[in-house]
Amino acid sequence: MDSSSPNTNKALMDTRFSDLIPKLSCDLIEALERSNFKFCSPVQAKTIPLLCSHKDVVVDAATGSGKTLAFLVPVVEIIRRSSSYPPKAHQVMGVVLAPTRELSTQIYNMAQPLVSTLTNVNSVLLIGGQDLKFDMKTIEAKAANLLIGTPGRVSEIMERMEFLDFRNLEILILDEADRLLGIDFQKQVNSILSRLPKQRRTGLFSATQTEAVEELAKAGLRDPVRVEVEVEAESNSKTPSDLHDEYLECEADKKSSQLVDLLIENKNKKIIVFFMTCASVDYWGLVLSNIPTLKYISLIPIHGNMKQKARNKALALFKKASRGVLLCTDVAARGLDISDIDYVVQYDPPQDPDVFIHRVGRTARLGKQGRAIVFLMPKETEYVEFMRSKRVSLQERRCSENVSDVIPIIRTAAMRDRAVLEKGLKAFLSYFRAYKKHLCSRTLRWKNLEIGKLAMGYGLLYLPEMSEAKQGRRPLSTKGFTPVDGVKFEDIKFRDKSREKQRQQNLQARKERGQAEKRERVKKNSRKACATRDSSKGGRKLTGKRRRAIQTAEDREEINRDNSALKKLKKGSITEDEYAELTGLN
């Protein structure tokens, strides 16, 4: 935020932080000015005075409107005015919760210049992905007066460190409250609330207020004030007018080519591409790096299954970059303040439609221009009207013509590297499973998926066995998929020599183990056959001829089972592990 020319940013007002009533402390105002914050955004001008006047608030403001500062300023000011200030070492005065580690870290870093104006107040960042014992030792050695973090780690600390004193807690903030009050965090948030005093100030902040937020506002807040702010938005719109929001209707087998074309067209810009699953991020991160025309574009993957250090590194790298592409799941959809995002691409519509607003909110922040686009397959276009009912207007963009077909490139990469082959299958199946759990199931119907074209768009070499494509009154369509002929999939090697060496060792070990077990089974069956008496002959032992006939039939049956399993493996309907299990190689 450029304080020297506030009127160039349409999201800012003429109101200064120093003009707010009740008056903020001089130390806090000076800290804000040192960070180039002189003028308030609308949500800050409305919210800060309310919280500082002992009001609970439910804040519904568009993404990029300055919500973080709208609660951090009153948190610091309220702690300063408390009768318990300055607090004792383990006296907790405030708690700020956010749904993701990245957002919690961002809030913590933004809070430090403001918290530094307080005497003997220490803020602690509590997030998963780092050692719990280290957090506990830090709190024991220093202090914990302001807790900022994710619900899981904060609730765990509260349970284990009973000496933390919450009796004089002044304020609780739930950022992205709609997500925190959802089923994913319900248990942890309830655990935290049960340990906090009811006589406190509470602020719920989000761009999308849900029924859960409304219910908590009714039950847990004392006469809350609702604050609704839209940043220079068109009438009846949930997104800023400076956001150009589009949709692209595209067949499933053409999506990847259209994505590559869009990235090339915007190669000098800063772009975020959202996928539905972690496996998809891993796969497309690997695949897109194999496409020659994207060679000079920086591709940075991030998702919730990555180790925390890798996530931090990826995010820091993207923040510093002047251009590049962040490939991500919804772990990066909420609250993250990454400057100068030019374009948000939704390769897959989000499972939760409310997340749509958060995703596109990564661009067009605080009055700046931005673009966003969502890819929709032909049978998904009802989604446009659905989003319009949620006050999000989408303009149509036509598919680019004469784009290069990238499917042959992807398939060639899969035939050269088993990692691409396996990641592609995993990504395809994870996408399908996630699609079946879509909260927009009336609009995005999984039974309408054309999995043949979808698998083609993923560049798969073969179509994996799926019961949904064979069973039911309307099996899913496999049309549009062209399998690759003349390739023995079991012979495709990992490009990574160490992985391939390990794979060969595993295969050999399974083969030897299977052969030994097979010989043992033959012996066992032979002994059984010899011991079996022909009941029809009064319990007499079987003749040699009869025993040989029984053994031959059993051997033939076993050979048929093994051949059947081998055929399934070659078709891709079972994995190597399943093949080993069926044939006794495991």
> Rounded to an integer, what distance in angstroms lies between the CA atom of residue 425 and that of residue 454?
12
**Cα 8 to Cα 5: distance, rounded to the nearest angstrom:** 6
Please report the pLDDT score of residue 561 as a whole number. Answer: 75
Beta strands in 17-105 (DSSP E): 57-61, 94-97
d(CA 575, CA 51): 58
Radius of gyration for the chain, computed over Cα atoms and rounded to the nearest angstrom = 30
Domain-located, residue 479: no
Which two tokens mark 43? 């949500």
Q: What would the two tokens of residue 284 be?
A: 């497309």
pLDDT at position 258: 98
Same domain (yes/no): 190, 294: no
Tokens linked to 443: 């609009």
Residue 289 and residue 417 share a domain: yes
- pLDDT on residue 386: 94
Q: Is the residue at 88 inside a domain? A: yes
Considering the domain architecture, whether residues 167 and 289 belong to the same structural domain is answered as no
CA distances from 224 to 47, 54, 168, 299 (A): 12, 10, 21, 44
Cα distance between residue 5 and residue 512, in whole Å: 75
The answer to whether position 188 is within a domain reads yes
User: How would you classify the pairing of strands 57-61 and 395-397?
Assistant: unpaired
Which of 453, 469, 485 is the last residue before a domain boundary?
A: 469
| Residues of the domain holding 500 | 496-532+541-583
Number of domains in the chain: 3
Rounded Cα–Cα distance for residues 123 and 111 (Å): 8
Query: Are 408 and 464 in a shared domain?
Result: yes
Per DSSP, what are the bridge partners of residue 201?
A: 171
Is 485 among the domain residues? Answer: no
- Give the neighbor-by-neighbor strand order of the sheet with 146-149: 123-126, 146-149, 94-97, 171-175, 201-206, 57-61, 225-229
Please tell me the distance from the alpha carbon of residue 150 to that of residue 82, in angstroms, as a whole number: 25
Q: Are residues 382 and 519 in the same domain?
A: no
Q: Please indicate, yes or no, whether residues 251 and 203 belong to a single structural domain of this protein.
A: no
Same domain, 144 and 40: yes
- CATH value at residue 108: 3.40.50.300
3-state helix/strand/coil string of 445-491: CHHHCEHHHHHHHCCCCCCCCCHHHCCCCCCCECCCCCCCCCCCHHH
One digit per residue, the tens of pLDDT, for the chain of length 586 reads 333 333 345 556 789 999 999 999 999 999 999 999 999 999 999 999 999 999 999 998 777 778 999 999 999 999 999 999 999 999 999 999 999 999 999 999 999 999 999 999 999 999 998 899 999 999 999 889 999 999 999 999 999 999 999 999 999 999 999 899 888 899 999 999 999 999 999 999 987 777 667 777 766 787 789 998 754 544 456 777 789 999 999 999 999 999 999 999 999 999 999 999 999 999 999 999 999 999 999 999 999 999 989 999 999 999 999 999 999 999 888 877 787 899 999 999 999 888 998 899 889 877 788 999 999 999 999 999 999 998 899 999 999 999 999 999 999 999 999 999 999 999 999 999 999 999 988 899 999 999 999 999 999 999 998 888 876 677 899 999 999 988 889 899 999 999 999 999 988 888 888 888 888 888 777 766 666 544 444 555 556 666 666 666 666 777 777 777 777 776 767 776 666 666 665 5
Q: How far is CA 229 from the centre of its chain?
A: 27
Same domain, 426 and 289: yes
**Rounded to an integer, what distance in angstroms lies between the CA atom of residue 238 and that of residue 243?**
11
Strand partners, 371: 244, 343
Contacts for 505 with CB less than 8 Å, ≥ 6 apart: none
Same domain (yes/no): 289, 427: yes
Task: Calculate helix-pair angle for 576-583, 544-571, nearest 10 degrees.
Answer: 180
The candidate with the shortest Cα–Cα distance to 205, out of 63, 35, 93, 374, is 63
Residue 259 shares a structural domain with residue 342: yes
pLDDT value for 135: 94
Residues 308, 457: one domain?
A: yes
Residues 330 and 404 in one domain: yes
Choosing from 229, 258, 273, the residue where a domain stops is 229
Residue 535 has a pLDDT of 46
Backbone angles phi, psi at 418, to 5 degrees: -60, -25
Residue 221 within a domain: yes
Helices and strands (H, E) in the chain, number of each type:
20, 16
- Count of CA atoms in the C-beta half-sphere (13 A) of 480: 19
Residue 36's alpha-carbon distances to 32, 113, 296, 365, in angstroms, are: 6, 12, 35, 17
Domain-ending residue, one of 229, 257, 280: 229
